[in-house]
Amino acid sequence: MEQLIIEGEHPLYGEVNINGAKNAAVAIIPAAVMANGKCIIDNLPGIEDISKLVDILTKLGAKCSFDGIHRLIIDSSKIDKYKAYYDSVREIRASYYLLGSLLGRFGRAEVALPGGCNFGDRPIDQHIKGFEAMGAEVYIEHGMVKAYAPNLKGATIYLDVVSVGATINIMLAAVLAKGVTTIENAAKEPHVVDTANFLNMMGAKIKGAGTDVIRIVGVSNLEGVNYTIIPDQIEAGTYMIAGAITGGDIKINNIIPKHMEPLTAKLLEMNCKITEGDDYIRVIAPKELQSTNVKTMVYPGFPTDLQPQMTALMCASNGTSVITENVWESRFQYVNELKRLGGNINVEGRVAVIEGKAKLTGAEVKATDLRAGAALVILGLAAQGKTIINNAKFIDRGYEKIEDKLSSLGAKIIRVKK
* Closer residue to ligand EPU in complex, CB, 90/357: 90
- Does position 93 bind ligand EPU by CB under 6 A? yes
Sheet of strand 320-324: strand arrangement: 293-295, 320-324, 351-355, 344-348
* Closer residue to ligand EPU in complex, CB, 362/400: 400
Query: If residue 157 lies in a helix (H) or strand (E), which one and from where to where?
Result: strand 156-158
Whether the CA torsion 279, 297, 365, 418 is positive or negative: it is: negative
Query: If residue 256 lies in a helix (H) or strand (E), which one and from where to where?
Result: none
**Contacts with ligand EPU, 286-325, as mask; x by CB under 6 A:** ------------------xx--------------------
- Does position 327 bind ligand EPU by CB under 6 A? yes
**Contacts with ligand EPU, 12-41, as mask; x by CB under 6 A:** -----------x--x---------------
* Closer residue to ligand EPU in complex, CB, 363/367: 367
- Does position 123 bind ligand EPU by CB under 6 A? yes
Give the nearest distance from C-beta 263 to ligand EPU in angstroms: 14
- The widest CA-to-CA distance across the chain, in whole angstroms, is 63
**Contacts with ligand EPU, 183-212, as mask; x by CB under 6 A:** ----x-------------------------
- Does position 164 bind ligand EPU by CB under 6 A? yes
Give the nearest distance from C-beta 320 to ligand EPU in angstroms: 26
331-365 burial, b at 16+ Cβ within 10 Å, e below that, comes to bbbbbebbbbbbbbbebeebebebbbebebebbeb
- Given a contact cutoff of 8 angstroms between Cβ atoms, the answer to whether 382 and 375 are in contact is no
Among the listed residues 55, 67, 125, 279, the single contact to ligand EPU using CB under 6 A: 125
* Closer residue to ligand EPU in complex, CB, 266/371: 371
* Closer residue to ligand EPU in complex, CB, 4/94: 94
CA nearest neighbour of 164 among 205, 214, 115, 199: 214
Which one of 64, 117, 272, 315 is the catalytic residue? Answer: 117
Q: What is the CA radius of gyration of the chain?
A: 21
Please count the residues of the chain. Answer: 418
Q: For 413, phi and psi rounded to 5 degrees?
A: -145, 135
Among the listed residues 161, 351, 414, 416, the single contact to ligand EPU using CB under 6 A: 161
CA distance linking residue 29 with residue 50, whole number of Å: 8
* Closer residue to ligand EPU in complex, CB, 10/239: 239
Size of the site for ligand EPU (CB under 6 A): 24
- Given a contact cutoff of 8 angstroms between Cβ atoms, the answer to whether 183 and 213 are in contact is yes
| Annotated catalytic residue 64 | no
CA distance linking residue 295 with residue 306, whole number of Å: 11
The residues annotated with a catalytic role in the active site are 117
Which residue ranges make up the site for ligand EPU (CB under 6 A)?
A: 23, 26, 93-94, 117, 122-127, 161, 163-166, 187, 304-305, 327-328, 370-371, 398
